Structure 1
Amino acid sequence: MSELIHTIEEWLMEYGIWGLALVSFADSSFFPIPPDVLLIPMGIAKPDSVLFYAFITTLTSVIGALLGWYIGKKLGRPVLTYLFKEDKVQKVEHYFTKYGPMAILMAALTPVPYKIFTIFAGVSRIRLRTLVVWSIIGRGARFFAEALLILFLGAQAKTFIDENFAMITIVGAIAIVAMYFIFLYLQKHNHKKTLK
């Protein structure tokens, strides 16, 4: 299976930015290959274009999320249990129950399979605007962070990203979620004060 995925990666690399856009779009809804595997080597090969690559990756990933949402809305939970193991589906359900739309941000930013969350967003009938906003923030933060690391570290960025990026994005996602809940708490607290 890994050989097949590697062959697909090499084939997509030949199509340059079109291959990157395709894999980024498909990753958000049904495809097993994340766009990072193309974005990073393409960015290292052409650092002058890496920010543009990050923009294209973010844009097509968000558009792909809309397809994932539509799949979830039209085909529902059976498509999730067909594509993914039941325990993963239950975990996503737990995140949505606990964190609501913030779960989309966490999935968009971290290495967890984003497509499960976009499909589940459709199953849960989460508003498209919510999906788009949090997807732009999460996917943009992820892909532009990789682009900036490539600009600063050059070819060494690949090793750094492979070894550290998953943990950095997880910590970043937790920090953003924490700030969001602090914001909600302060907003609620200030609202109570004005009512007194």
Structure 2
Amino acid sequence: MKLFGPLYQRALVWSRHPKAPALLGGLSFAEAIVFPVMPEVMLAPMCLAQPKRAFRFAGISLLFSLLGAVVGYLLGHYAYEVVKPGLAALGWLTRIEAEVAELRGIVAHSPWRAFWLLVLAGFTPIPLKIFTWASGIVGVPMLPFLSAMLVGRGKRVYLLALVIRVGGERAERALHRWIEHLGWAAMLLLAALVGWLLLRGPAA
């Protein structure tokens, strides 16, 4: 979280705004396309402030993340070459091209292998935009793509809502304390899944 600096602090301020649900939706939408702050930084304090509405807030975040994922996919598919210089300036081009190379190899064997990769990716701290753009560039079929986004991001936001509702402020403190460790563990699982999918070779 420290990497996000002022943007993280701004998201916490937004979480206490009277129009917080709309801001959460906007943040979730933008994060799937270009914004560097994960919507959980707003979702967690909102769930803590109104536990009975935690799952509603998670649903808002999921819906707008899916909408943003579609926009990111379409931008990757139709506008990648145009925005390459901008992505390079932001420092994202290397990461996106690495994901493109992995996805292209996996999709060549089976689009549904990409589904499992994207499901796990939705639970890591890797920005969602990396995967939405890469999926569009490669041309992952829309059904596996949206299914993966739904499961991957859905389990993340609903699990957070459940943890905050059950554990309250203590759970939020623990989440912020251990988020980096959990994130790196998920990234290791993601790397293991990629390796497994690639080593399996073409589907029979």
Cα distance in structure 1, aligned partners of 2:99 and 2:159: 25
Question: Are the aligned partners of 1:68 and 1:118 in contact in 2 as well (CA < 8 Å)?
Answer: yes
Q: Are residues 1:50 and 2:54 paired?
A: yes
Any idea what the Cα deviations from partners look like across 1:48-91, whole Å, max 9, x if unmatched?
11111111111111111001001111211452552342432233
Within-5 A mapping of 1:26-37: 26-37=30-41
Asked which structure has the greater CA Rg, the reply is 1
User: What's the secondary structure of 1:112's corresponding residue?
Assistant: coil
**Paired residue for 1:75, among 75, 79, 85?**
79
Matches within 5 A, 1:56-95: 56-80=60-84, 82-83=86-87, 84-85=90-91, 86-95=93-102
Corresponding position: 1:133 with 2:136: no
Q: Compared with structure 1, are the counterparts of its residues 59 and 116 closer, same or farther at alpha carbon in structure 2 (3 Å cutoff)?
A: same
Query: In the alignment, which residue of structure 1 is the partner of 2:110?
Result: none
The TM-score, its normalising length taken from structure 2, stands at 0.76
Tell me, what secondary structure is at the counterpart of 1:21? helix
SS of structure 1 residue aligned to 2:140: coil
Question: Is 1:153 the equivalent of 2:153?
Answer: no
Instruction: Supply the distance in 2 between the matched residues of 1:81 and 1:69 (Cα, whole angstroms).
Output: 18
Q: How many residues align?
A: 182
Q: Aligned in 2, Cα 1:80/1:50: closer, same or farther, shift over 3 Å?
A: farther
Percent identity over paired residues: 24
What amino acid is the match of 1:79? V
Report if the CA contact (8 A) 2:54-2:161 is conserved.
yes
Q: Which amino acid aligns with 1:27?
A: E
Shift of 1:172: 5.8
Give yes or no for contact 2:8–2:41 (8 Å, CA) kept in 1.
Answer: no
Q: CA RMSD in A?
A: 2.8
Sort the Cα spacing of 1:5 and 1:167 in 2 relative to 1 into closer, same or farther, 3 A.
closer
Report the TM-score when normalising by structure 1: 0.79
Question: CA 1:60 to 1:2, structure 2 compared with 1: closer, same or farther past 3 Å?
Answer: same
Kept after mapping to 2: 8 A contact 1:58/1:136: yes
Structure 1 pair 122–76 and aligned structure 2 pair: CA distance change class (3 A)? same
Kept in 2, the 8 Å contact 1:77–1:123? The answer is no
State which of 106, 109, 114 in structure 1 corresponds to 2:123: 109
Distance across 2 between alignment mates of 1:88 and 1:75: 17
CA distance in 2, matches of 1:8, 1:162: 14
